[in-house]
Amino acid sequence: MQGLTEFLPVSSSGHLSLYQHFTGNSGEGALLFSAVLHLGTLVAVFTAFRKTIWELIKELGFMIKDIFTGKFKWKEMNPPRRAIIMMIISLLMLIPFYIFKDFFEGVSEDSDIIVEGICFLYTATILFLSDRCVKGNKKFGDITVKNAVTVGAFQGVALLPGVSRSGSTISGGLFCGFERETAVQYSFILGIPAILGGCLLQVKDAVDQKAMDIEPLNFAVGFIVSAIVGICAIKMVNWLVKSDKFKIFAVYTLILGVVVIGIGIFEHAVGMNLVDYLKK
pLDDT in tens, 255-266: 999 999 999 999
pLDDT by residue (tens digit) across 40-65? 888 999 998 999 999 999 999 999 99
Q: Computed over its alpha carbons, how large is the radius of gyration of the chain? A: 20
- Give per-residue pLDDT as tens, 116-167: 999 999 999 999 999 888 888 999 999 999 999 999 999 999 888 889 989 9
| Residues forming a β-bridge with 178 | 138
pLDDT of 121 reads 96
For the cut 60, the answer to whether the pLDDT of residue 26 exceeds it is no
Name the residue with higher pLDDT: 213 or 271: 271
In the prediction, which pLDDT does 190 show? 92
Most confident of 2-16, 153-167, 193-207: 153-167
Highest mean pLDDT among 67-81, 89-103, 203-217: 67-81
Residue 96 pLDDT level (bands cut at 50, 70, 90): confident
Q: How confident is the model at residue 273 (pLDDT cuts 50, 70, 90)?
A: confident
Q: Which alpha helices (DSSP H) does 133-215 contain, by range?
A: 145-157, 165-175, 180-190, 192-208
Amino acid letter, residue 27: G
For 167, half-sphere exposure in the C-beta direction (CA atoms, 13 angstrom radius) is 37
CB-CB neighbours of 217 under 10 Å: 7
Contact indicator for 87, 148 with CB cutoff of 8 Å: yes
The predicted model gives 226-244 an average pLDDT of 85
Q: Given this model, what pLDDT does residue 213 score?
A: 61
For the cut 70, the answer to whether the pLDDT of residue 236 exceeds it is yes
Contacts for 150 with CB less than 8 Å, ≥ 6 apart: 172, 175, 176
Going by pLDDT thresholds of 50, 70 and 90, the confidence category of residue 210 is low
Q: Are 262 and 120 in contact (CB under 8 A)?
A: no
Which one has a higher pLDDT value, 265 or 199? 265
Task: Using the predicted structure, report yes or no on whether residue 203 has a pLDDT greater than 80.
Answer: no
Does residue 138 sit in helix, strand or coil?
strand
